[in-house]
Structure 1
Amino acid sequence: MRAILISICALWSFATYAQSDKTTFHTYLYNKEYKVYLRINFYDQDVIIPDQDLLGPLPGYLGKERNSFCWPIVSAKVKGNKAHLQMVNDYGSEDLEATLTRENDSIYVLKQGKGSTLKVPNDGKWQKLPSTLPFVRPKRQ
């Protein structure tokens, strides 16, 4: 009987922890090579894109350093350490499906699926991003 009670308490504790962890997909992520970043909150879905508040609160966006162009994330569904995303460019002319997977505390991987290819402006030209793109979660200061 005691073993059953301990097992139930352990399961309840684990379930409570899993439900209360709302930091995995509420963060800022950066890719240094392509100078792109993700600003996300897939739980409250309350991210406002700077100078594009007309779009209202969203799950997040992919942005480019020193540029206002972005790919808004219009839908995000979290399952464990993976989130399934729907993204559209800020012109509304291209869209895609993607997954964002947390590999460990600081590494996340964005993998493009069906749809358009992620492109961002770079020195006056469009730069295609690789279909699998790693991001780093900066350490908290």
Structure 2
Amino acid sequence: MKKITIALAFLLLCGTAKAQEAKLKPSSTSEPAELLATASEATDSVFKTRIANEEYQVWLDINFYDSNIIVPNQDIFGELPGYLGSKRDSRKWIILEAEVESNNASLLITNDYGSEDLTATLTCEADSSYTLTQKEGSTMKIAVNGKWVKLPKKLKFVKDKKA
């Protein structure tokens, strides 16, 4: 028992010494590289956000870079580029594919039953708002008070305050 205690204490001391040594070493990262990383992170966050449209009470939760969004209560779909949700409807429109090119993203979207699908584009505008434009396929719709409400072919979104 004493041997085990001594061995554990030795390992703990070795680990502490290594950690101290790592803290004392100068960073190998140079300032220009740090600035490039910051600029790259800013570019890579355009389509990693939560945006909302208050008029229709819908939002988009997206991460087109890592495709790691889980649809609430529908985790059977796994990690995805994102989804459209509504405050008044528990159903979701799921983004299956997202291809980013500059400030535009081409999307393949389906409803959570898989019975309707469409292609769309999401554009980040100069004023930091976003425009979702439905192209081909089904029209996106949500249920409001038991009736279907079609979303417009062009829908404006802004950064959600909850994000």
Identify the TM-score tier after normalising by the shorter chain: 0.7 to 0.9
Aligned partners of 2:105 and 2:121 also within 8 Å: yes
Residue 72 of structure 2 corresponds to residue 50 of structure 1: yes
> What RMSD in Å do the two structures reach over aligned CA positions?
2.1
Aligned partners of 2:129 and 2:158 also within 8 Å: yes
Aligned length: 129
Q: Would you tell me which structure has more helix in proportion to its own residues?
A: 2
Give the structure with higher Rg (CA).
2
- Equivalent residue for 1:23, pick from 41, 45, 48: 45
Cα gap change, 1:140 to 1:122, in 2 (>3 Å): closer
Cα gap change, 1:33 to 1:20, in 2 (>3 Å): closer
Match runs of 1:39-118 below 5 Å = 39-104=61-126, 106-118=128-140
Unpaired segments ≥5 residues, structure 2: 1-34
Distance (whole Å) between structure 1 residues aligned to residue 41 and residue 58 of structure 2: 30
Distance (whole Å) between structure 2 residues aligned to residue 68 and residue 59 of structure 1: 19
* CA apart distance, 1:43: 0.3
Distance (whole Å) between structure 2 residues aligned to residue 75 and residue 119 of structure 1: 19
Aligned partners of 1:106 and 1:139 also within 8 Å: no
Alignment TM-score, normalising by the size of structure 1: 0.84
Output the amino acid matched with 2:97.
S
Distance (whole Å) between structure 1 residues aligned to residue 160 and residue 80 of structure 2: 22
Tell me the percent identity: 51
Distance (whole Å) between structure 1 residues aligned to residue 162 and residue 93 of structure 2: 25
Stretches (4+) displaced over 6 A: none
Residue 141 of structure 2 corresponds to residue 119 of structure 1: yes
Distance (whole Å) between structure 1 residues aligned to residue 63 and residue 158 of structure 2: 16
What is the CA deviation profile of residues 43-85 of structure 1, one whole-angstrom value per residue up to 9, with x for unaligned ones? 0000000100000000000011143211000000000000000
SS in structure 2 at match of 1:87: strand
Aligned partners of 2:58 and 2:85 also within 8 Å: yes
Cα gap change, 1:25 to 1:105, in 2 (>3 Å): farther
Deviates most, 128-137 or 99-108: 99-108
